[in-house]
Structure 1
Amino acid sequence: MSILNQKFETAHGTAPFSQIKASDFLPAFDIAIEKTKKEIHAIRTDSVPPTFENTVEAMAYSGMELDRISNIFFNLHAAETNDELEKIAQEVAPRLSELANDINLDTALFGRVKTVFEQRESLVLTTEQRTLLEKSYRNFVRNGALLRETEKETLRKIDAELAVLKLQFGENVLAETNAYELHITDEKDLAGLPAGAVEAARSLAASSGKSGWIFTLDYPSYIPFVTYADSRRLRREITLAAGRKAFQDNGYNNEKNILRIVQLRFQRARLLGYESHAHFILEERMAQSPAKVTAFLADLLQKAKPAAEREFEELANFAKRLHHIDRLEKWDGPYYSEKLKQEKFDIDDEVLKPYFELNRVLNGAFQIAKKLYDLHFTEVYHIDKYHGDVRTFEVHGAAGDLVAIFYADFFPRKGKRNGAWMTSFKPQYRKDGINERPHVSIVCNFTSPTATKPSLLSFNEVTTLFHEFGHALHGMLANTVYPTLSGTSVFWDFVELPSQIMENWCYEKEALGLFARHYETDEVIPMDLIDKIKASASFLEGMATCRQLGFGMLDMGWHGQDPSDISSVKLFETSCLAATQLYPDVAENAVSPSFSHIFNGGYSSGYYSYKWAEVLDADAFAFFQEKGIFDREVASSFMANILSKGGTEHPMTLYKRFRGQEPQVDSLLKRAGLLK
């Protein structure tokens, strides 16, 4: 038996990464899948008539060994993959899909759940139990329990194919990201670049056995290059490379994958009785319907577009005045935005970076969590980890009780996908009188330390760290009975509230004073820089809002209708983005082939939720500002009503209990400088 199938005899039952080999996974999955099937069989064949406890609750606690193995495997697949893990993923994904269908399409099992559901008014249930019962019933119905046998077979085939296609999509994006490098040998081509970016590029070249400097599509390398490099020719080259990921005539092209994924999702939705994939997804979201999402996006666009057009015109005129640029292109945007920001606010990310050394920023997040929620983070070295870069922490409450285990993985490397995310290796839940505490992880791709400098973060990286840490707090502070309702197991247009609200503290003097200190002199960030950070917070916010709304509209375009007539990914995408388009189109680039959020992540028909949650977070933080950003009473209410509750009640019920009212969109518009 694989170590993965045994109880982990480790500190706090954490994953024994150093003892796990890639070859352990397939046999471990085999055993765990069989165990899950036996657990389900015992529930469906129970001779005792169905009750909440012997059916619904029993199902909520079933398959936990399989979940644990899946969490470990797919987290490694995202953060530390290799050819062997990718092969295993291709084999395992359809099998997990098949098992899910075996459960969801089991007539006898559904019959037991349906019996309990129909008795719900006469049962004495807690709010969480009622939610679990309703979600369990809806989950069966939404996954085909009411279908005829032939239709169930069709659903199984669709789900198996989708599981593989989504994996293939992500692997293609990662392969394209890893395949590109901009190798510079002439020092003149480095003009404008910060010393830290140049040193990192030299270090990368040396590690590849090459002279000169190498820049890649990994964000800590790509973003400084397009923001600061004076060479317009090279900015164009690397921007085009980023824009054609998985949109080239090679083995990693994702166009066919996209057309097949959206077609299968549509077929699946229609099979289940929904008008489109978006109708299916949004039934289980705060927004409820494509019409409501479309109206929400259109309303924000109407308010943001005039500002965006003014900002774009100002940026174009600035580029023309500065360097005689006749037509502002995508590869000019970050470069001239940074120059204009410096001119308007006298603020430069490179001046800010020395005040944002990674360890201090992380410690600042910890201090803020202590002030708000009385959490105490202690770095420990006895917990096993999957890579040397990973750091591990024990998190304790005020009484010294263990709240969570926290992993942090900050730097890019081959085999780790781009971006930043929060995940977990073990959820929180209560069983047999024990409150099992979660093992939570954040994964980022920040600027690595060099031979002469520690990791110094851009302000955008600072807000990213706080964002993911907010998700982590949602996981850590979970306090529910059932693992399926715990932590971030909430509606997807609610899940970004805990993450996005944390970003607000990055703009507050009281918070910045805790951690923004110069890494060499220990000087606290000067007040004038804090003022400039706040003043520049809504800089080009109209353009940024338009960009986000464009992604939301593209997502709804792919998923809110019958995609059968779409033959060209590029043409369809261009039509979806027309209303938000500011820069001239680039024929050889497309967003969709590397839009992992909606084709490989969990955001299909849900990308709008970033903006939706911004309304929530702006409104919620306004409450903190009214009372004080470290007000314990407001923080306690946020923890009790939002962070600890997971998916145990409807999000709007929880939000109104915290805030005393529904969220007001004006809070967002005011913060973004879009309210007249």
Structure 2
Amino acid sequence: MLKISITVMFTSLLLFTSCKQETENTKTEEMHREKQESGNVLLSEWKGPYQGVPAFNMMKLELLKPAVLSGIESHLKEIEEIANNTEEPTFENTIIAFEKSGQDLDRVFTYYGIYSSNLSSPEFREIQKELSPIISDYSSKISQNEKLFQRIKTVYNASQQTALPKEQQRTVALIYQNFEMKGANLSKEDKETYAEIEKQLSEYYTQFSNHILADEESYITYIDSSQIGGLPESYIKSASGIAKENGEEGKFAITNTRSSMDPFLTYSTNRELREKVWKTYYSRGNNGDENDNNELILNILKLRDQRVALLGYDNYAQWRLQDRMAKNPENAMNLMKAVWPSALARVEEEVNDMEQLAKKEGENISIQPWDYRFYMEKVRKEKYDLDSEEVKQYLELNNLRKAIFYVAGELFNFNFEPVSTDSVPVFHPDVKVWEVTNKTNGEIVGLWYLDPYARPGKRSGAWATTYRSKSELMGNYPVLASNNSNFVKPADGEPTLVSWDDAETFFHEFGHALHFLSADIKYPTLNGGVRDYTEFQSQLLERWLSTDAVINKFLKHYKTGEPMPAQLVQKIKKASTFNQGFATTEFLASALMDMIYHTTDPEQIKDVQEFEKNKLKELGMPEEIPMRHRSTQFGHVFSGEGYATGYYGYLWADVLTSDAAEAFAEAPNGFYDKQVANKLVKYLFAPRNAEDPAEAYKKFRGRDATIDALMRDRGFPIPQK
């Protein structure tokens, strides 16, 4: 079924606008919709191989709205049938029925997700505006259905008296808690207020997201051949191709995305241009125009606070973290503050090193944010004789893909074979598909889709998703998992070479895909995840990039095919804690601000820019570094609910990651030790959310995780207990 949390997630992607229609048009619109619904491929059960796959080759934007409306109508009918069942509520007639409901809408939202994340357009965003209030109302009709909730509550209360089998018990508890957190226990009047707040937030979330996308698409910096000093040849060729596509042949385009900005700031010798590119990127959502996000942030914070006040909570963070591993904002803040001082101290050392090097080169400057990457790279070369551009020659995308397949084979016993897009449709020519099977018995596990390159209309960053998840209840269909990146597409005939950081991100997102593919659960609700735990599995997989097997087999020079020299490998490992001041501080600043925003009375925040500036100053934020995500572009937090007060979760998960990595390091066969790998899959990947994460980790490690391994990994002193 389409669980409420998923419904709300999609609601948060949608704009809200007035949908009043003239009475005389209603009948005509309904007839038109019925005609469109008939045979609507977006509603149809999936056909083809692998027990059905999405008909991406038949997607049409004009089919989306009628499909959503029909799917909502169908799901609400199913909900009413469950709610009005006159039989005594049981797990079977209430929970199972609820889990199975909404399958039509599940399929529709697979296509919706593609239009939203991979193929956005002005036409799609207009449809978002029309659908937003409808989807918000639909979500509220489920979460606030009194009869439905009372049936769920009856099953839940009975399970507290007489425990159900383990997976049933957890499923009931998760569903009940989800309803409770969404206001199911509120009075009728408060429920109406809650629903109105949800509706308004759905507008703000998608406006926020679309504003960032608009600024990324609208601002392109064009330079000429006299301004490309220091830039790698691969970057120059790609920038030339992008400029040509945009009608600026003979020039070079720096797009307003991280994948374009990062390498430019790292290598460009033109300080004035670095400043311009930096300011353009970090001003997204803060340009005082129609895409400005400052007012939206204030509105979002106020509405979130009002909503949780209805439920009796002091602040949004208190409400949000109750079902996370951290349990409350105090625990999350304590972890961040334990790491923060060491990160600041390291930044001071890094800045001193950079300024000394600049002085030695005759540049008597104070390091500014647009200088940090540039001089950081120079220091890396001087201290470790390590050139990031040299490393990139060994990080070719196809070889990295083979590497992640190898790791999946060794740890998960998976095999990957390419599938023709003639038999499995894709939504863009860049997308490729692989069949995933069990190496031992050949059984099909699922499909893996890869959409690797940046393009207009595709949201920034990297992410993983599923088009179909594993569930015994729903038939154990093959999992359909997807990874999405924003690598800069190379010129024709050129390889895709990526940085070490981007290679780690590629492994990271594949870790999410493996989490989907290895799932072994019975009920759909258990496919969900605890936010500060779900990044653990993906962060852990990053560690295999630097294992000897991957380096020796797959990190080969893109021209010669020669493996990465041992001397270069040693330099990389020796420099593993280099730049941890920058990396940790820019992340933690965002995570701390996320928590500060949501534990502060919104009435005290009058101006977002001033609030951000003052709070960072109180934290002792170095002027040489910005937050990784400044407030007006912090999509994790303000374009939906998923990561709001949850950005700390990457650090929380990294505590588990570092601790678990040491379990492999201590094993007889290291990171490919079969015994530890089997425990990894059994306890930390396959159960998904079928078990409490803290208990699952104890089963894997034999104890709780400690912060010590994290501090060792980053080269920071271990806090005294």
- State the TM-score, normalizing by the size of structure 1: 0.97
Match in the other structure for 1:57:
96
Q: Secondary structure at the match of 1:661?
A: coil
Match in the other structure for 2:15:
none
Query: Does residue 1:40 correspond to 2:79, yes or no?
Result: yes
Counterpart pick for 1:228 among 254, 258, 267: 267
Contact 1:542–1:674 (CA under 8 A) maintained in structure 2: no
Contact 2:257–2:281 (CA under 8 A) maintained in structure 1: no
1:192-207 alignment, distance < 5 Å: 192-207=230-245
Query: Does residue 1:189 correspond to 2:227, yes or no?
Result: yes
How far apart, in 2, do the equivalents of 1:38 and 1:60 lie? 14
Q: Secondary structure at the match of 2:690?
A: coil
Match in the other structure for 1:435:
476
1:248-259 alignment, distance < 5 Å: 248-259=287-298
Query: Does residue 1:14 correspond to 2:53, yes or no?
Result: yes
Q: Secondary structure at the match of 1:197?
A: helix
Counterpart pick for 2:649 among 609, 612, 630: 609
Contact 1:570–1:590 (CA under 8 A) maintained in structure 2: no
Contact 2:577–2:713 (CA under 8 A) maintained in structure 1: yes
1:330-345 alignment, distance < 5 Å: 330-345=369-384
The answer for unaligned runs of 5 or more in structure 1 is none
Q: Secondary structure at the match of 2:678?
A: helix
Q: Secondary structure at the match of 1:283?
A: helix
Counterpart pick for 1:468 among 499, 509, 512: 509
How far apart, in 1, do the equivalents of 2:520 and 2:289 lie? 48
How far apart, in 1, do the equivalents of 2:609 and 2:548 lie? 45
Give the counterpart letter for 2:520 in structure 1.
N
Give the counterpart letter for 1:416 in structure 2.
K
Q: Secondary structure at the match of 1:408?
A: strand
Counterpart pick for 2:680 among 627, 638, 641: 638
Match in the other structure for 2:159:
120
Deviation at 1:123, TM superposition (A): 3.9
How far apart, in 1, do the equivalents of 2:104 and 2:551 lie? 42
Q: Secondary structure at the match of 2:64?
A: helix
Q: 1:355 to 1:270 in 2, by over 3 A?
A: same
Deviation at 1:90, TM superposition (A): 2.5
How far apart, in 1, do the equivalents of 2:164 and 2:42 lie? 35
Q: Secondary structure at the match of 2:456?
A: coil
Counterpart pick for 1:401 among 439, 443, 446: 443
Query: Does residue 1:174 correspond to 2:213, yes or no?
Result: yes
Match in the other structure for 2:31:
none
Query: Does residue 1:449 correspond to 2:487, yes or no?
Result: no
Match in the other structure for 1:619:
659
Contact 1:43–1:59 (CA under 8 A) maintained in structure 2: yes
How far apart, in 1, do the equivalents of 2:175 and 2:473 lie? 19
Hey, which bits of structure 1, 4+ residues long, moved more than 3 A? 121-124, 584-587
Contact 1:309–1:543 (CA under 8 A) maintained in structure 2: no
How far apart, in 1, do the equivalents of 2:136 and 2:673 lie? 46
**CA deviations over 1:638-668 (Å, ceiling 9, x no partner):** 1111111111111001111111111121111
Match in the other structure for 2:27:
none
Q: Secondary structure at the match of 2:460?
A: coil
Give the counterpart letter for 1:295 in structure 2.
N
Q: 1:580 to 1:453 in 2, by over 3 A?
A: farther
Contact 1:312–1:582 (CA under 8 A) maintained in structure 2: no
Percent of aligned pairs sharing the same letter: 32
Deviation at 1:534, TM superposition (A): 1.1
Query: Does residue 1:387 correspond to 2:428, yes or no?
Result: yes
**Number of residue pairs the alignment of both structures matches:** 671
Contact 1:312–1:543 (CA under 8 A) maintained in structure 2: no
How far apart, in 2, do the equivalents of 1:615 and 1:80 lie? 36
1:127-276 alignment, distance < 5 Å: 127-185=166-224, 187-210=225-248, 211-276=250-315
Moved more, 231-240 or 656-665: 656-665
How far apart, in 1, do the equivalents of 2:305 and 2:208 lie? 18
1:416-435 alignment, distance < 5 Å: 416-431=458-473, 434-435=475-476
Contact 2:344–2:622 (CA under 8 A) maintained in structure 1: no
Contact 1:278–1:559 (CA under 8 A) maintained in structure 2: yes
Q: Secondary structure at the match of 2:446?
A: strand
**CA deviations over 1:62-87 (Å, ceiling 9, x no partner):** 11221221132123311111112112
Q: 1:644 to 1:592 in 2, by over 3 A?
A: same
Q: 1:586 to 1:600 in 2, by over 3 A?
A: closer
**CA deviations over 1:405-444 (Å, ceiling 9, x no partner):** 1110111000011111111111111126x31222111111
Counterpart pick for 1:287 among 313, 322, 326: 326
- State the TM-score, normalizing by the size of structure 2: 0.91
Contact 2:174–2:525 (CA under 8 A) maintained in structure 1: no
1:410-559 alignment, distance < 5 Å: 410-431=452-473, 434-486=475-527, 489-559=528-598
Q: 1:341 to 1:604 in 2, by over 3 A?
A: same
The answer for unaligned runs of 5 or more in structure 2 is 1-37
Deviation at 1:148, TM superposition (A): 0.9
Deviation at 1:120, TM superposition (A): 0.9
How far apart, in 2, do the equivalents of 1:397 and 1:323 lie? 60
Moved more, 537-546 or 38-47: 537-546
Deviation at 1:221, TM superposition (A): 2.0
How far apart, in 1, do the equivalents of 2:379 and 2:226 lie? 23
Q: Secondary structure at the match of 1:456?
A: coil
Deviation at 1:326, TM superposition (A): 2.1
Match in the other structure for 2:30:
none
Counterpart pick for 2:352 among 313, 321, 336: 313
Deviation at 1:104, TM superposition (A): 1.1
1:79-90 alignment, distance < 5 Å: 79-90=118-129
Query: Does residue 1:659 correspond to 2:701, yes or no?
Result: yes
Contact 1:447–1:456 (CA under 8 A) maintained in structure 2: no
How far apart, in 2, do the equivalents of 1:225 and 1:283 lie? 42
Deviation at 1:565, TM superposition (A): 2.1
How far apart, in 2, do the equivalents of 1:585 and 1:617 lie? 26
Q: Secondary structure at the match of 1:466?
A: helix
Contact 1:244–1:590 (CA under 8 A) maintained in structure 2: no
How far apart, in 1, do the equivalents of 2:626 and 2:695 lie? 45
Give the counterpart letter for 2:673 in structure 1.
D
Q: Secondary structure at the match of 2:465?
A: strand
